[in-house]
Each structure stands twice: as C-alpha cells, then as structure tokens.
Amino acid sequence: MGIAIVTGASSGLGRAFVRRLDELGGLDEIWGIARREERLRELGEQLRTPLRPLALDLTDEGSVEELAALLALEKPDVRVLVCAAGFGKFGTWQDMTLGETADMIDLNCKAAVAVTAGVLPYMSRGSRVVEICSCAAFQPLPGLNVYAASKAFLLSYSRALRWEVAPRGIRVTAVCPGWIRTEFMQVARDTKNGRTVRHCLLPQRPETVARRALRASHLLAVATCGPFALVQRIAAKFLPNCAIMACWEGLRRL
C-alpha cells in the first residue's frame, strides 16, 4: 500500500499539501495527522484519495508512539512524508512564557525528528521527505528568536539527513518559504507582545508553496518556493548576521 503522511494536515500549509497530493494521485491512502479530528474528517470528504484521520498531538510522546505502533502493524510503503506541523510566536525573550517556548521547540524540532525517524524504515527508493522549515532559518531574528532558531535546527537536520539516506534512494528537502497566508499570524500574535512583528510582507498562498515544494522535492535539498525567500537565502550567505538582523529590525516595525 503506497501512502503519504502529512503532519499539521488540518489547516494551512499541511492541508494544502494533502490537497496537492490528492490532485497528483498515485497513492492508495493519505494519513493526515493533526489534533483536530473533525477538520481532518471534513477534509477527507473533499478528496478522491482516501484520507485516514489520525488525531494526534505530536508534542505528546505517547502520540508519536501510537503512530509508530500503527506503522509497525500495517507496514505501509510511505512514498511521501511531509512534516508540516509547527507554529511560531512573536515576542522577545521576556514576552513569552516558558510553556510557549517549550511547546515551540517540542513541535518544531523534537516532534519533526521523532516522526521522521519513525517513518523512514517504511520508505523505499524514490520516496521523499519534505521538512517544512522557513526562510527564518537562514539567520537569527530578534522578536522571532525561538521560532527562527527552531527552524535553523530543522534546516540543518534535513540537510544532513539527506546525505544519510541518499544510499537508500530517498530524497530529503528542506522547504524554506517566506510568509504564507495561513493561521500562523493569528497564533503568532497570541502572546504578551504580539505586535513585535507588525506585518507580513508579500505573503504567498499555501497552495502555491505546496505545489512548488512537491515539485522541488524531486531534486533540491533546499527549496525557498518564492523570490522573497530566495533573496533572503542569498543575502544570508554573503552578508554578516548583524547586517541581516539590522534590516529585519526595520522591516518588522513597518
């Protein structure tokens, strides 16, 4: 049974990936992972490909173990894994609670690695792993500090993992887009100082990012999926971090 697994599938970019995988076809089933089961079931009713809703909170180790047990039981051929679960919070170190910080690290880093490691034994030659990072991963970002750091971790992990699984014929792609029109902003602003970043410049549609990311995952190690993120990636290679952060300090106050 050839399947795709998408985390964060109930909304935003994860939902767009599920829809795009359904459009491309060739899968026996899509496993959608998210906390909100009702949204997953609603999405499944709109697809041609059968969607298996897995209502799991990936910050809970028990949920990751539940996924591992299901994989061991069914032994599917996982053709595509998309780790899209994640969130960010606006604010400086003094604006965020310890819980917000820990949850960000747990979901953006720990859960992504745990899910990937759990799924890889069920992937074969030609399979693809898509890790949703961010152009925030390319440099430190004051006011978005922990989120950017968590995505930098995931970018580094993804690039090294690509080399580790290459002998098995599995491709890993770190997707690093800019702002996307999703619920991200609403969640990010729900902090003590949610106006730390005032506006999202040049946001993309999640459908556009999902389409470009899946196309790029056949070849590229890192996909920016848009001109703004591409410029940011290039600038981070040639300019010192202090210069990038100074530009960011101005942009986030616009």
Each residue's pLDDT expressed in tens, for the chain with a length of 254 residues: 899 999 999 999 999 999 999 999 999 999 999 999 999 999 999 999 999 999 999 999 999 999 999 999 999 999 999 999 999 999 899 988 999 999 999 999 999 999 999 999 999 999 999 999 999 999 999 999 999 999 999 999 999 999 999 999 999 999 999 999 888 878 888 787 767 787 777 889 999 999 999 999 999 999 999 998 999 999 999 999 999 989 888 888 77
Q: Residue 211 contacts by C-beta under 8 Å, 6 or more apart in sequence?
A: 20
* Domain of residue 49, residue span: 2-251
**CA separation for the pair 214, 202 (Å, rounded):** 21
Please give the distance of CA 36 from its chain centroid, rounded to a whole number.
17
Q: Residue 129 contacts by C-beta under 8 Å, 6 or more apart in sequence?
A: 80, 81, 83, 116, 119, 120, 123, 158, 161, 165, 170, 171, 172, 173
Which one-letter DSSP state was computed for residue 107? I
Is residue 147 annotated as a catalytic residue, yes or no?
Answer: yes
The answer to whether 95 and 197 have CB atoms below 8 angstroms apart is: no
pTM, rounded to two decimals: 0.94
Q: What tokens were used for 39?
A: 């949204």
Contacts 24+ apart (CB under 8 A), 35-40: 35/10, 36/10, 36/11, 39/10, 39/11, 40/9, 40/10
Active-site residue (options: 31, 90, 122, 147) = 147
- Please tell me the total count of domains within the chain: 1
CATH code for the domain of 92? 3.40.50.720
